[in-house]
Amino acid sequence: MIKTYVELGLGIGILAKMAFDAKRDRTLRAIDAAHLFESSTTRLGVKRGAYLRRYAYEFIELFAPQLPRAVVERAVRGEEGSRYEL
């Protein structure tokens, strides 16, 4: 949505670096502004005992490829030592 507004000439947008694709966003220009912002941490929470569909596991794998499905399943079950912060 933000990039669309910028393409329409409605202002500027501040995006995460991963949201800009030079090949796809040819009409836009990215300027590194990392020095203006503190680093941030993104967390993913899952309710203990929740049933996760396949697409949820796929999203988690994209988000944190170092966490295999078996590890995520243990965390969802609330097993001892299954809390992970990366």
- Decide: residue 34, CB within 10 A, 0-12 exposed, 13-18 middle, 19+ buried: exposed
Examine the domain organization and report whether 35 and 53 are in the same domain.
no
List CB contacts of 69: < 8 A, sequence separation 6 or more.
Answer: 57, 61
Asked if pLDDT for residue 86 goes beyond 60, the answer is: no
- Do residue 64 and residue 34 come from a single domain? no
Label residue 83 by pLDDT band (50, 70, 90). low
Mean pLDDT score across all residues of the chain: 88
Residues 6+ apart with CB under 8 A from 57: 69, 72
Are 72 and 46 within one domain? yes
Examine the domain organization and report whether 51 and 69 are in the same domain. yes
- Backbone phi, then psi, for 70, in 5-degree steps? -60, -40
Range of the domain at 82: 41-86
Residue 47 shares a structural domain with residue 86: yes
Are residues 15 and 53 located together in one domain of the fold? no
Based on the fold, state whether residues 29 and 66 are members of the same structural domain. no
Query: Is there a single domain that holds both residue 56 and residue 24?
Result: no
